[in-house]
Amino acid sequence: MNVQTAITLFTPRNLLCALFMSALSACGGSSDDGHVVTVDGISMDKTIDKTGPYDLEVTGARNEVTVSAGNTVLRLSVAGLNNRIYVLKTATVERIDLDGSGNTVYVPVGFKSRISRNGNNNDVIER
């Protein structure tokens, strides 16, 4: 490799692109840290079915998360962009915190929870 080729390969733009792609490839996943379940990534489809009370944090973009029937969520925190969370019948959620933009939580008709809406176009919809 000559000096000119090396300079061309290591331009700030190429380096920035390489770092960005590396970061994207490392993104995404879920974790269960005791009483906190975290779903973080892009376009993930995840069903949470956990015994005992827990907090659920959903971040990232375009994730679809289902809270299984019978689950007890103390705090559901939804941030990021265009995430969809489906709370099934008989699941309970004491508090819903909506941040970011375009996030929607679908709950059963008659569902009761404390709701905090921040950001833009965040909704809780009964269905």
Domains and CATH numbers, the chain: 29-126 (2.160.20.70)
Residues 66-103: pLDDT tens digits? 999 999 999 999 999 999 999 999 999 999 999 999 99
- From the list 110, 105, 102, the residue with the least C-alpha distance to 77 is 105
Whether 119 contacts 101, CB under 8 Å: yes
- To which residue do tokens 């819903």 refer? 96
At 4, list the tokens. 């000119």
Residues 18-57: pLDDT tens digits? 444 444 434 567 777 779 999 999 999 999 999 999 999 9
Looking at residue 35, its pLDDT comes to 92
* Better-scored residue on pLDDT, 5 or 121: 121
Looking at residue 21, its pLDDT comes to 40
* Better-scored residue on pLDDT, 102 or 9: 102
Give CA–CA dist 116/45, Å, rounded: 24
Whether 103 contacts 124, CB under 8 Å: no
